[in-house]
Structure 1
Amino acid sequence: MLIRLDANSPEPLFAQLAASVRGAVARGELHAGERLPGARDLAESLGVNVHTVLRGYQQLRDEGLVELRRGRGAVVTGQAEEGLAHLLDLVGQLVTQARRIGFTTDELVTLIRTEYR
């Protein structure tokens, strides 16, 4: 799992870190039961304060995507993979609806890109 942070982004670093972990789960790079890097090690490798990493991990914990276990660190939960399954279901519904109203693939992609910004 590769975590990249952009110091020039208006999004806080802890939120970028949490988004990176969410993305890794969505891409299948992280699975339920896997441990995330230790907060101190990750902070050192990213060049950020350890509290930034802990805040990102706490955000993921509050969302139910990781469990913070004393002595074991942050562990990905099964709920993280359920979130991906839910997203895939929503995408399927979106594609079905787009076809129903006559959208082309390019029109749907353009709509998604516009909304995603």
Structure 2
Amino acid sequence: MLIRVDPTRATPLADQIAACVRRGIADGSVRGGERLPGARDLAASLQVSIHTVLAGYQSLRDEGLIELRRGRGAIVRDGVPAGRAAVVELARDLVRAARRFDLDDEEVVALVRAAARTS
């Protein structure tokens, strides 16, 4: 799996790492059971801190997309629908857009609920 980051972008590097993995899951290039690059190796190849890589991986774990196991590394969870990764990425885009318009979390949730009722 190819993971790239652009330090000139405003998006934090950890978020860029997580987004690359999400896109890979969504487009099928990364499958359940697949092992992600080790945090140390990825940090060295991207020339970032290991903590940056771990933060990106922890976001993916919190989203239910990967498992982190001591000594085994990061593994994409089996049975996670590719669409889930795409929806997570869309949700993150929605939150970023809402922040630009100074909407708080409750307003964003209300907008999503209203959209779900009309769909």
What TM-score comes out, normalization by structure 2 length? 0.68
Distance 1:85-1:61 versus aligned 2 partners, 3 A rule: closer
**Corresponding residue for residue 19 of structure 1:** 19
Cα-to-partner distance string for 1:21-40 (whole Å, 9 max, x where unaligned): 00111111110011001000
Instruction: Give structure 2 stretches of 5+ with no counterpart.
Output: 89-119
Distance 1:80-1:54 versus aligned 2 partners, 3 A rule: farther
Residue 54 (structure 2) pairs with residue 54 (structure 1): yes
Distance 1:14-1:85 versus aligned 2 partners, 3 A rule: closer
Give the count of matched residue pairs.
87
Distance 1:21-1:76 versus aligned 2 partners, 3 A rule: same
Distance 1:9-1:84 versus aligned 2 partners, 3 A rule: closer
Q: CA deviation at 1:81?
A: 2.8
Q: Which of these two proteins has the greater Rg computed from alpha carbons? A: 1
Q: CA deviation at 1:82?
A: 5.2
Which letter does structure 2 place at the counterpart of 1:83?
A: R
Question: Which secondary structure does the structure 2 equivalent of 1:75 belong to?
Answer: strand
What TM-score comes out, normalization by structure 1 length? 0.69
**Corresponding residue for residue 107 of structure 1:** none
Which letter does structure 1 place at the counterpart of 2:82?
A: E
Tell me how far apart the structure 2 counterparts of residues 27 and 75 of structure 1 sit (CA, whole Å): 17
Tell me how far apart the structure 2 counterparts of residues 34 and 16 of structure 1 sit (CA, whole Å): 19
Instruction: Give structure 1 stretches of 5+ with no counterpart.
Output: 88-117
1:1-117 matched pairs, under 5 angstroms: 1-77=1-77, 78-79=79-80, 81=82, 83=84
CA contact (8 A) 1:68 1:75 kept: yes
What is the percentage of aligned positions where both structures have the same residue? 60
Tell me how far apart the structure 2 counterparts of residues 42 and 81 of structure 1 sit (CA, whole Å): 23
CA contact (8 A) 2:17 2:56 kept: yes
Which letter does structure 2 place at the counterpart of 1:73?
A: G
Distance 1:85-1:49 versus aligned 2 partners, 3 A rule: closer
Which letter does structure 1 place at the counterpart of 2:45?
A: S
